[in-house]
Amino acid sequence: MRTTSTPTHCPYCALQCGMNLSPLPSGGVEVTERADFPVNRGALCGKGRTAPAVLSSRVRLTSPLVRSEGALVPATWDEALDRVAEGLRRTRAEHGPDACGVFGGGGLTNEKAYALGKFARIVLGTSQIDYNGRFCMSSAAAAGMKAFGLDRGLPFPLEDIPRTGCVILVGSNLAETMPPALRYFTELRENGGTLIVVDPRRTRTAEQADLHLAPRPGTDLALALGLLHLVVAEGRTDEAYIRERTSGWEEARAAAMAHWPEYVERITGVSVPQLREAVRLFCEPESAMVLTARGPEQQSKGTDTVGAWINLCLATGRPGRPLSGYGCLTGQGNGQGGREHGQKADQLPGYRKLVDPEARRHVAEVWGVDPDSLPGPGRSAYELLDALGTDIRALLLMGSNPVVSAPRAAHIEDRIRSLDFLAVCDVVLSETAALADVVLPVTQWAEETGTITNLEGRVLLRRQAITPPEGVRSDLHVLHELAARLDGETGLGKGMEKSLEKGFPTDPEEVFDELRRAGAGGLADYSGITYRRLAEENGVFWPCPAGGDTDNNEADGADDREDASLDGLPDSPAGERTEVAVHPGTPRLFLDRFATEDGRARFVPVSHRAAAEEPDDEYPVLLTTGRVVAQYQSGAQTRRVDELNAAAPGPFVELHPRLAERLGAAEGDPVAVVSRRGRAVAPARITRAIRPDTVFMPFHWPGEGRANTLTNPALDPTSRMPEFKACAVRLETVRT
């Protein structure tokens, strides 16, 4: 136990709020304020304040578990690791490398995400790796890449929000999902700016808005196109910006003009006067932003939906200008960094594409393997989970709980049960871990050091504050030991022995230094970032290449302060220019040019289409899902905290009084919600804050109230994001 407080970051959402962990005389730690960190400035939500409760051995795993005669029983680490290695070895030998799957998590540190992707590709030789971040912001990432050539959640720091003129916040209830961030929007309004919230529910966030638009779930695409139509019709486009900094406008304009206001009103339920008021509020200020979250993104047309909001920004000249632009509010703690370093099905470290020969050559050289030995892209997250027990016979899973979090969850639970072998690395015995053949207890946030990347693209250092329990090891230790046990058996060719000898260190800083080399020159370039630098600064924004051109003699010798082994890389074409030897990082992107080949942003023409599943006579109501303030994601950790459970003890069904009256349900009555995929039961919560044609369920709980039993796995054709936010259901009363 340390005797002084340790500055670190919250283990939950992508704000990654700064906090101090201070030792208690009785043992353990308490959270204290860390006002110097600019993102939250000391403010914390209830989840952050109570985070140390999950460190308790009363709720967390402290010993490996192996399945014996149908039950999970304690085992030694050697026994457990031997079993995992044997399960993967046997599966690979009998069915080939792609019969081994790997599934990661958006809460893993950058070091773990990097090592997991590397392990999958050079030890197992499998293409079948993805992570639950696919369910987070993959649609926004795909749309950002199409439009800007680069995907970073926010292309500007949060501190810019209060200084802009207007923000359109689409599908985010950050008052409950990211409470410390609400202050930025409060300050926006105090400074004279306006806030427009787009949400089918009148949430705590929508109550703060100057204008609340409540579209029917699944119609955000039509709404954005209707607003762009009005921008054109009212002569509010920025023609000089469009001409000088974009391409593809004519096609996008033509697509938008097919969505006239009255047509959009019929689709969305948002009135024409409200549409016109939104355009006025957005276009009149000199600066404005659109921020999207899971609402428009978790749809089978999420990429097009986000693309339509980006088109609105481009047509009004916002991206790449001060205090303006488009951004995505990433949800998971390391949802941003988690996909940049290789645990996504189609990517290599540095946000490189797995199909790019030069990317394969660069990364293979760092790893000490033949580029031809690297497998190609694999299945996306839901498709990987859907293939369990058939094409994929064994699964190594780190930091995810798909039994609760995946769409069509009952089906996914059946697929997991059908595996020949399942190994899970986790902090707690989650619902998914309870089905495993081997469970490995791994370290968590306060027990380890590592980096994460928050929603701004700010790379941060989480510091170890306490010693983990005796029976707990890090995920890096697990991969190191498994690589050693599988060494020489993968058959991936010359150079593998050298790679396995040095390629899976257990020290996170050593892993990070290799990550820097593997990602150098990529879109997400961390090569100019070091642990020492992160310890001295409040994070560094990527891209941050090593070295840099300089004519400034005062900068000479600056490389002495940093690892100079990566010097000479060019500055990012997408970010701010710099003339110093140590790159300062890039808090604001696109000020000079976009990250496309010609430096121009691209309009992408899109048109409205219906959700994959619309209401009908049998299923006449729409279901949308989301979160509550006191729980987080699948609830695997927060459901083990007494204070949080007291605030949010279980699932509920939120419905409008008119719908409740037709159903004959009173407040608190059990209500069954039935979709084509299953049935969930939870108490009724009756409120006028939701549309009469829509019901809402939070997705944090397993069992009969599991919301994701109902959700539709229909996938976006580009991002492969499932349609969590809209599916057809019917309601039934339940006799008690």
Q: What does the pLDDT look like over 366-404, one tens digit per residue? A: 999 999 999 999 999 999 999 999 999 999 999 999 999
Q: What is the pLDDT of residue 242?
A: 98
- CA separation (Å) from 145 to 152, 249, 278, 571? 9, 17, 27, 19
Helix/strand/coil percentages in the chain, nearest 5: 35, 20, 45
pLDDT of residue 2: 54
DSSP letters, 167-209, are EEEES--HHHHSGGGHHHHHHHHHTT-EEEEE-SB--TTGGG-
**Residue 448 scores a pLDDT above 60:** yes
- The answer, yes or no, to whether residue 727 has pLDDT greater than 80, is yes
Structure tokens at 263: 């047509």
Interval 190-201 mean pLDDT: 98
Distance CA 626, CA 632 (A): 10
Q: Does the domain made of 154-328 have the CATH classification 2.60.120.590? A: no
**Positive or negative: CA dihedral 606, 265, 167, 691:** negative
Amino acid at 324: S
Give the model's confidence band at 26: pLDDT under 50 very low, under 70 low, under 90 confident, else very high. confident
Look at residue 579 in the predicted model and tell me its pLDDT.
42
Q: Please give the C-alpha separations between residue 60 and each of 112, 191, 472, 699, in angstroms, as whole numbers.
A: 20, 45, 10, 22
- Identify the helix (H) or strand (E) that includes residue 496: helix 496-502
Task: Quote the CA–CA distance of 46 and 648 in Å, as a whole number.
Answer: 11
SS3 246: strand
Residues with Cβ within 8 Å of 555's Cβ and at least 6 positions away in sequence, in order, are: 579, 580, 581, 582
Residue ranges, comma separated, of all CATH 3.40.228.10 domains in the chain are 154-328
Pick from 71, 86, 78, 126: nearest CA to 104: 126
The sheet carrying 458-462 orders its strands as: 450-453, 458-462, 540-541
CB 488 within 8 A of CB 469: no
Residue 578's alpha-carbon distances to 456, 563, 575, in angstroms, are 20, 19, 9
Cα separation, 726 vs 736, in Å, equals 29
pLDDT (tens digit per residue) in 248-277: 999 999 999 999 999 999 999 999 999 999
* Rounded Cα–Cα distance for residues 337 and 455 (Å): 9
Q: Do the beta carbons of residue 328 and residue 290 sit within 8 Å?
A: no
Q: What's the confidence (pLDDT) of residue 569? A: 35
Query: Is residue 531 predicted with pLDDT exceeding 60?
Result: yes
pLDDT tens column, 596-609: 999 999 999 999 99
**Where in the sequence of the chain do the CATH 2.40.40.20 domains occur?**
621-733
563 has pLDDT over 90: no
Q: What is the largest CA-CA distance in the chain?
A: 80
Overall size of the chain counted in residues: 736
Q: Write the CATH number of the domain with boundaries 621-733.
A: 2.40.40.20
pLDDT at position 493 = 37
Adjacent-strand bridge partners of 201:
690
Task: With cut-offs at 50, 70 and 90, classify the pLDDT of residue 580.
Answer: very low
DSSP string covering 84-110, please?
HHHHHHHHHHHH-GGGEEEEE-TTS-H
Angle at Cα 294 formed by Cα 266 and Cα 296, nearest 5°?
25
Which residues of the chain does CATH 2.20.25.90 include?
6-55
Q: How far apart are CA 123 and CA 655, in angstroms?
A: 50
The domain 6-55 is placed in CATH, from the list 1.10.1740.10, 2.20.25.90, 1.10.10.10, 3.40.50.300, at 2.20.25.90
* Mean pLDDT score across all residues of the chain: 93
Quickly state the pLDDT bin for 487 (edges 50, 70, 90). confident
Pairing of the two strands 601-602 and 246-247: parallel
Q: Rounded distance, CA 350 to CA 197, Å?
A: 34
CA end-to-end distance (rounded Å), the chain: 51
Q: What is the pLDDT of residues 693-705, one digit of tens each?
A: 999 999 999 999 9
Q: Residue 558 above 50 pLDDT?
A: no
What pLDDT is recorded for position 25? 87
- Which residues, 6 or more positions from 161, have their beta carbon under 8 angstroms from its beta carbon? 167, 184, 185, 187, 188, 289
- Asked if residue 570 has pLDDT above 60, the reply is no
* String of DSSP letters for 574-641: TS----SSS----SS--SS--SSTTS-EE---------SS---SSS-EEEEEE--TT--TT-TTGGG-
Reported as a pLDDT band with limits 50, 70 and 90, residue 627 is very high
For residue range 95-106, list pLDDT tens digits in order: 999 999 999 999
pLDDT for the residue 4: 85
The larger pLDDT score, comparing residue 291 to residue 549, is at 291
Instruction: State how far the Cα of 358 lies from the Cα of 362, in Å rounded to an integer.
Output: 6
Q: Which residue has the higher pLDDT, 489 or 429?
A: 429
pLDDT in tens, 27-36: 889 999 999 9
Q: What's the CATH code, domain 65-135+334-507?
A: 3.40.50.740
Token reading at 226: 């209707």
Closest CA to 181 of 344, 330, 26: 330
Q: What is the pLDDT of residue 556?
A: 30
pLDDT of residue 489 exceeding 70: no
Q: What is the distance between the alpha carbons of residues 40 and 421, in angstroms, rounded to a whole number?
A: 42
Domain with CATH 3.40.50.740 in the chain: 65-135+334-507
More confident residue, 95 or 2: 95
Share of the chain above pLDDT 90, in %: 90
Distance CA 66, CA 367 (A): 32
Instruction: Please compute the mean of the pLDDT values over residues 472-480 and round it to a whole number.
Output: 97
Instruction: Tell whether the model's pLDDT for residue 551 goes beyond 60.
Output: no
